[in-house]
Amino acid sequence: MKVRTRFAPSPTGYMHIGNLRTALYEYLIAKANGGDFLLRIEDTDQKRYVEGATEIIYNTLKTVGMNWDEGPDIGGNYGPYVQSERKPLYAEYAHKLVELGGAHYCFCSKSDADEEKNEELNIKFKDPCKLIPLEEAKKRVAAGEPYVIRQTINKKGKSKYHDEVYGDIEIDYDELDEGVLLKSDGFPTYNFANVVDDHLMGITHVVRGNEYISSTPKYNLIYEDFGWEHPFYVHVPPVMKDAQHKLSKRNGDASFQDLVAKGYLPEAIINYIALLGWNPGTEEEIFSLEDLKKVFSVERLSRSPSIFDITKLTWMNGCYIRALSPEKFHQMAMPYYNAMPEGINLEALSRTLQPRVETLGQIAEQTDFIRALPDYSLELFANKKMKTDASVAKMVMPEIRKVLAEQKDWNNDALFESLKALAEKLGVKNGQVLYPARIALSGKETTPGGATEIAVILGQVETLRRIDTAIAKL
């Protein structure tokens, strides 16, 4: 059996972290077994349609490197891969299911809105229309009476199936409602479309949220009525914001796009979300997508919900940033250097920042003092450990200026040697020169890098200008 999985998102306009994790698990199940990974767009809920939303799905998957083998844009042998383009298929199969006794025509005046409400309220609807003889129902349909096609559930006892994560599941048939499969507008509901599509597309493993555990017996009945084999089920617990709340865009929780915009690397996001609900069975935590393809297994998926921990993701992102080549980091940091004053040594800035930031988004706050010297207070010059204060600064600053004005080699080592020599000449500690110099150059208590690193970044002209500002202040 060739493993075939599908990622079947609705085009909602953003990539929810939980959805991306589902896609990742689908992808890994396929790729760990030499199988195919399909992309299917579930756009039959026309009310939720968002312009440009499929592009976001394509871009997200491409950005993280989860390439699909079949999909709307590249085609395949099982298309079309967009549900709205499959509309006639669903009607055909729904009518067939009526003939097979697995569904019936329903003429109840309940609107589709009521249907959704019932689902929310968890009311088990048993439809009286299933008692209408089929021949009579067909006549009413032929006469143009509005109808929907509903599932017929006459079975008694317990429905049983196996889930790869939750084990054997038993649900009483009485607990299942006779939901709509085909709406009055001819569009299928999710409950019907997913079964028809998964079967026709040869899907072998279905990954989805554990909220579908209780609906799965309804899908299995449809498979049975058609005489089809149902896929392996892999239900996964939700990604949580905290112990009580699911992660949700509605609550303002970050989507994949939001995280990337904040300077998280796609590789780090994928690595982190892989571990939300799966563990490798070792202490190892850093996995590229290629690594994951080798080590991922369904057996190690967890039944308990996992909490999305931004601190952990940030730590992991820092690991990925430090592992970048200096050239690659510089290239990624460049967009964050907009509106820098002229003469700033951006390569030196990148070298200083790379070991010190955990997200690219932190670059802005780390470099604010480079854009413009803050209006700092003289109290900043005071530091007990360095045995320095404003009066020490006042004494050393003109000397520092002389040394820096005469400096030929404007690099970190040479500058450090010159300032160290100055401290020796003045008979003070190194820190009594370097600390005031750093404050003068940055106007900040904490900075990425020391005085000489900052001097290299600023360049000689701006460095001397800032020293002059300090002399004037002191």
Q: How near is the Cβ of 94 to Zn ion at its closest, in Å?
A: 15
The region of 98-106, 188-196, 205-213, 428-436 touching Zn ion under the rule CB under 5 A is: 98-106
Q: Give the 3-state secondary structure of residue 112.
A: helix
> Active-site positions?
249
Q: How near is the Cβ of 125 to Zn ion at its closest, in Å?
A: 9
Per the CB < 8 A criterion, the answer to whether 425 and 413 are in contact is no
Q: Which residues of 424-460 are buried (b: 16+ CB within 10 A; e: fewer)?
A: eeeebeebbbbbbbbbbbbbbeebbbbbbbbbbbbbb
Q: How near is the Cβ of 148 to Zn ion at its closest, in Å?
A: 8
Among the listed residues 3, 32, 91, 108, the single contact to Zn ion using CB under 5 A? 108
| Cβ neighbours for 151, distance < 8 A, ≥ 6 positions apart | 102, 103, 178, 179, 181, 191, 192, 218, 221, 222
Residue 26 lies near Zn ion (rule: CB under 5 A): no
Q: How near is the Cβ of 141 to Zn ion at its closest, in Å?
A: 13
Per the CB < 8 A criterion, the answer to whether 116 and 179 are in contact is no
* Residue (64 or 137) nearer to Zn ion, CB: 137
* Residue (129 or 346) nearer to Zn ion, CB: 129
Cis before residue 80, ω within 30 degrees of 0? yes
Residue 106 lies near Zn ion (rule: CB under 5 A): yes
Q: How near is the Cβ of 106 to Zn ion at its closest, in Å?
A: 3
Burial classification of residue 46, based on how many CB atoms lie within 10 Å of its CB (0-12 exposed, 13-18 middle, 19 or more buried): exposed
* Residue (109 or 282) nearer to Zn ion, CB: 109
Q: How near is the Cβ of 88 to Zn ion at its closest, in Å?
A: 24
The region of 74-82, 100-108, 228-236, 351-359 touching Zn ion under the rule CB under 5 A is: 100-108
* Number of shown-chain residues binding Zn ion (CB under 5 A): 4
Q: How near is the Cβ of 90 to Zn ion at its closest, in Å?
A: 19
Query: How far apart are alpha carbons 140 and 49 in whole angstroms?
Result: 33
* Residue (108 or 428) nearer to Zn ion, CB: 108
* Residue (121 or 339) nearer to Zn ion, CB: 121
The region of 84-92, 104-112, 200-208, 433-441 touching Zn ion under the rule CB under 5 A is: 104-112
Per the CB < 8 A criterion, the answer to whether 78 and 202 are in contact is yes
- CA distance readout (Å), 80 to 56, 173, 181, 341: 19, 34, 20, 53
Q: Which residues of 335-373 are buried (b: 16+ CB within 10 A; e: fewer)?
A: ebbeeeeeebbeebbbbbbbeebbbbbbbeebbebbeeb
Structure-block tokens of residue 422: 């100055």
Closest CA to 435 of 418, 421, 452: 452
* Residue (43 or 127) nearer to Zn ion, CB: 127
Q: State the sign of the Cα–Cα–Cα–Cα dihedral 142, 147, 150, 153.
A: negative
Query: 138 forms bridges with which residues in the sheet?
Result: none
One-letter amino acid for residue 461 of the chain: V
Closest CA to 201 of 26, 427, 417, 47: 26
* Residue (127 or 358) nearer to Zn ion, CB: 127
β-bridge pairing 148-151 and 103-106: antiparallel
Helix (H) / strand (E) containing 469: helix 451-473
Query: How far apart are alpha carbons 37 and 459 in whole angstroms?
Result: 52
* Residue (106 or 193) nearer to Zn ion, CB: 106
Q: How near is the Cβ of 145 to Zn ion at its closest, in Å?
A: 12
Q: State the sign of the Cα–Cα–Cα–Cα dihedral 96, 99, 103, 105.
A: positive
Per the CB < 8 A criterion, the answer to whether 105 and 137 are in contact is yes
Residue 177 lies near Zn ion (rule: CB under 5 A): no
* Residue (39 or 98) nearer to Zn ion, CB: 98
- 111-150 residues in contact with Zn ion (CB under 5 A) are 127, 129
Q: How near is the Cβ of 213 to Zn ion at its closest, in Å?
A: 27
Query: 238: number of CA atoms within 13 Å, CB side?
Result: 13
* CA angle centred on 321, ends 318 and 326, rounded to 5°: 145
The region of 105-113, 343-351, 377-385, 407-415 touching Zn ion under the rule CB under 5 A is: 105-113
Please report, as ranges, the residues that interact with Zn ion according to CB under 5 A.
106, 108, 127, 129
